[in-house]
Amino acid sequence: MDQQNDHQSPPDDLHQILLLRPPPVFTIHEHYFSNKFHILKAYESPLPTHDFLREYAQSVKVVLCSAARPITADIIRELPALELVVSQATGLNHIDMAECRRRGISVTNIGDVFSDDVADAAVGLFIDVMRRITAGDRFVRHGSWPVSGEYSLGFKLGGKKVGIVGLGNIGLRVAIRLDAMGCIVSYTSRQQKHSTTFTFYPNVLHLASNCDALIVCCSLTNATRHMINNTVMRALGKQGVIVNVARGAIIDEVELVKCLVEGEIGGAGLDVFENEPNVPKELFGLDNVVLLPHRTGFTTESFHDAAQVLLSNLEAFFTNKPLLTPISSEF
């Protein structure tokens, strides 16, 4: 009984924040949050999630969510007092936005905090695939250099036509970086961006037909799911390189693996996958792919900044001030 009371009422006047699963920024900087809020950790409770949610159903106004544990319509329905979903991600495909809109629940993302780091890592993946850096590192560590006279040539970046898929906060930063390296940058996006001089193509197939590489930087929505399909990959061609720092499901992963294994495209740098943390095993033996565990935004500095954005949104909510990084209801 005591324990139940302890569960239902915070030990002092701290506001409740529900976590179904801790997002990485919380894991690293938990003390920032636990000093200011009463954290309800569903993932540490012996109760099944459903029972845990029912216990706090009337009091929980805020969920801090992790991309690894989607906020589905079912979960939202179990929380009738919910008013705010706070995400540490840039993309919000793990939140049922339609249900949030219907219920008038506010949603915040992380804003621009990760954009520079994701753009840097996208460029890093692109250089890595083109210039075979990770493959070269394996070659040296395996002790092959002194015994093999083979010269494995990569490809020059300068003069390559690179298509940015989605010229938002991240895509634009990638474009600027590649432009400085002498790449010829073009893009496709929901609308043409008149603030840039990069060449616009109305769709990804046109873009792929005119490019040596695609860097995928757009949101995952119903319109972009499997947008990079077999036709697009064949249009990119046998030397073509794909980098994905957005969401795995924007690419038809089964087709991507097939194209890579069969040499229908030239290589790939992938931070994201359709069924994370599972990566298609066929990729593990390929030297022309570079594989990251969804962490192009993961730096010490961005995590510190992200924690501040999360805290600012939470504090704004509880003091009835404007949210720092709200997602507009048209999203």
Question: Residue 145 has which token pair?
Answer: 């250099």
- Tell me, what DSSP letter sits at residue 234? H
DSSP H/E element including 5: helix 2-8
- Among the listed residues 69, 173, 247, 253, the single catalytic one is 247
> Counting contacts by CB under 8 A, is residue 298 touching its own copies?
yes
- Taking the C-alpha atoms of residue 87 and residue 26, their distance in angstroms, rounded to an integer, is 11
Q: Does 230 bind its own copies (CB under 8 A)?
A: no
Cα angle: 133, vertex 136, 140; to 5 degrees: 140
Using the structure block, give the residue that is written with the tokens 């239902």.
8
Least Å from the CB of residue 292 to its own copies: 4
Active site residue 294: yes
154: contact with its own copies by CB under 8 A: yes
Q: How far is the CB of 202 from its own copies (least distance, A)?
A: 28
**Given 131, 161, 193, 234, the residue binding its own copies (CB under 8 A):** 131
Q: Which member of 44, 74, 81, 182 binds its own copies (CB under 8 A)?
A: 182
| Least separation in angstroms between CB 65 and its own copies | 17
The answer to whether residue 141 forms part of the interface with its own copies (CB under 8 A) is: yes
- Which listed residue (224, 303, 309, 317) binds its own copies by CB under 8 A? 303
Q: Which stretch binds its own copies (CB under 8 A): 59-67, 136-144, 184-192, 322-330?
A: 136-144
C-alpha to C-alpha distances, 90 to 30, 170, 205, nearest whole angstrom: 20, 10, 25
Strand order in the sheet with 289-291: 199-200, 184-188, 161-165, 213-216, 241-244, 267-270, 289-291
Instruction: Answer whether 2's CB lies under 8 Å from 23's CB.
Output: no
Omega of the bond leading into 70 within 30 degrees of 0 (cis): no
- Residue 177 within binding range of its own copies, rule CB under 8 A: yes
Which residues are tagged catalytic? Answer: 247, 276, 294
- Binding interface with its own copies (CB under 8 A): 24, 27-28, 116-117, 120-121, 123-125, 127-128, 130-131, 133-134, 136-137, 139-141, 145-146, 151-159, 176-177, 179-182, 276-279, 284, 290-293, 295-296, 298-303
